[in-house]
Structure 1
């Protein structure tokens, strides 16, 4: 395994982060425990979850993933071996079953206390804001959503002040953002600077070789402000495994069970790019999965690459990507496809 640190902290984290959002729906508690056992043995010490999980979000599965992690901590006593990240759900219809109002002091207090209880721990190493209250172009929205441009932005001061209280109590160690824009990220950084409040150390946004929009604006923010990307959906919800090519929809796969999750990655441009990337991987004796993940692993603005799997064979392949070094020739070929079909997935 390769390691780095959460920016501006002394927390050493693996470059591969274990994503957990299928545990409690597509995966059982036993599956989740097996994945954590294997990942930790393989050197993965960074786990990411959220109060929202498992997905799709429903009242019945709310908090299920955190509970599975909590029972594993209790069973194994491995809490001190893991850098644990979780998130408070943002507002909107999708989370109406959790609470109303999105990101505010009352909701943050409620969310952290409940997560700590489910996780059976006294502290969370990295606490993230899952998405903003205001409408932004995330979750498959390519362009700025002008119909939400008049929405009031978050109360950044209230949010950071509330999180600071939890840091002082030792219940969270550091804070991060997720599904944010350059404006939103800089607003948090400026507010923190102006009021001596904690600055976000990471931002968890989607990134893959068919969805490289982070490079437009956000990558510069990452590098100049030292706020590392935690890349999620690096396999584009499994599309970059190649398993959905040629009209395939494997039984039990996420795309088969929940087709809306992969819809944003299934346009003609995306599928053509995936075919070309697959040809590059085959020519160089690696899998498309390994190549796709290895590309993310080597980016200078990436702190950790969040992988997720429903099968142990997938988990092993994903983690093994850390041992794949892409040659200059392979990187050149990847850039050739990107030039021909830039960012085909929104």
Structure 2
């Protein structure tokens, strides 16, 4: 049987974020691109909803990212953006136990508290709530009661889930993803595997068994991975099949056109598109993409992102895709940020 696991996360645009927030950041102000938009646009339409992998979750093609809540955004601003998003068809939000970003001991978990205070006025079954348990870390042990190193094992997973549920003031989360692997992989600015950094890791089966426990207890509905490699994905799928455990239903990885920043900006201008419209329209149309996580620090930015999904031609015309392909031949991997 063929196993299908859809991608869950794509690019961030707040303002136009050219690099994943967990890596070195480059910022380009949106005000730099106030040229008149002349490309053909579609009539305003509704967001589409798609089934997330083998789950029964029907998720909007946009998910609201929340990692700025509690750092760049106040609780009031967070509530305004959450309400605007859900009033305009978004039904999913993404958080993590380490949010907000940048990670600080004094603000850790504040994002969840802001979500919780908004969530109490919402019907819980209408909100798809996704969070993440941290991977291996020697720098973030402060989020555990008694740990020097974070691992993806039964003790860490249970403490993470129980604390997340308490902060979010809910009985369950719809999706729990491993934020990054327990084993060594090149991440957060690393591009190549460094064999000298290899370390013993928690076996895939052991991780899945620990996740199965919180699923069986009704605290987590589905599981997934983030910042994961093809090797890791296949090992999780294989282990679940052999052991009869719950299978991962999502992959939340970086995916964006904006590695070749200036080239795509010029291309967008050629076709009468803003950089936001080009970036979000491209990921929207990828056949393997289930939902794109967008971030915003204001309702105005959030509106711009949603409008980019709904008003640009769907799918992009052939001449736009041909120019994207021409640039892609020089900058091969839109997932490396």
* TM-score bin, normalised by smaller chain: 0.7 to 0.9
- Aligned-pair CA distance for 1:60: 0.7
Contact 1:21 1:65 in 2 (8 A): yes
Q: Which residue of 2 aligns with 1:262?
A: none
Q: 1:45 aligns with which of 78, 91, 100?
A: 91
Structure in which a larger fraction of residues adopt helix: 1
Instruction: Determine the structure 2 residue equivalent to 1:224.
Output: none
Equivalent residue runs for 1:120-159 within 5 Å? 120-149=169-198, 151-159=199-207
Q: How many residues align?
A: 283
Contact 2:138 2:150 in 1 (8 A): no
**Structure 1 gap segments, 5+ residues each:** 211-269
Q: Is the 8 A contact 1:24 1:54 kept in 2?
A: yes
> For 2:237 and 2:202, how far apart are their aligned partners in 1?
13
TM-score for both structures, normalised by structure 2? 0.81
Displacement of 1:158 in angstroms is 1.9
Cα deviation, 1:74-94, whole Å, max 9, x if unaligned, reads 1x2232211110001122133
What is the Cα deviation at residue 138 of structure 1? 2.2
> Structure 2: which 5+ runs fail to align?
1-46
User: What secondary structure does 2:76 align onto?
Assistant: helix
Q: Is the 8 A contact 1:127 1:172 kept in 2?
A: yes
Residue aligning to 1:177: 225
Q: Deviations over 1:104-126 (max 9, x none)?
A: 10111101000001111111000
Between the aligned partners of 1:332 and 1:77, the Cα distance in structure 2 is: 44
Match of 1:94 in 2: 139
Greater RCO (CA < 8 Å, at least 6 residues apart): 2
Measured against aligned partners, the alpha-carbon deviations of 1:134-180 in whole angstroms (never above 9, x if no partner) come to: 2212222111222223x123222222112112112211100000111
Cα deviation 1:195-216 (Å, max 9, x = unaligned): 1000100011111014xxxxxx
Select which of 156, 159, 168 maps to 2:216: 168
Q: How does 1:106-255 map to 2 (within 5 A)?
A: 106-149=155-198, 151-210=199-258
CA distance, structure 2, for counterparts of residue 192 and residue 14 of structure 1: 27
Of the structure 1 ranges 163-172 and 41-50, higher mean CA displacement relative to structure 2 is found in 163-172
Residue in structure 2 matched with residue 339 of structure 1 by the alignment: 329
- Whether the aligned pair in 2 keeps the contact of 1:23 and 1:65 (CA below 8 Å) is yes
For residues 241-294 of structure 1, the C-alpha deviation after alignment (integer angstroms, 9 at most, x for no partner) is: xxxxxxxxxxxxxxxxxxxxxxxxxxxxx4xx3222112222222211111011
Q: How far off its partner does 1:313 sit? A: 1.4
Conserved 8 A contact 1:58-1:97 = no
Aligned mate of 1:57, from 103, 111, 116: 103
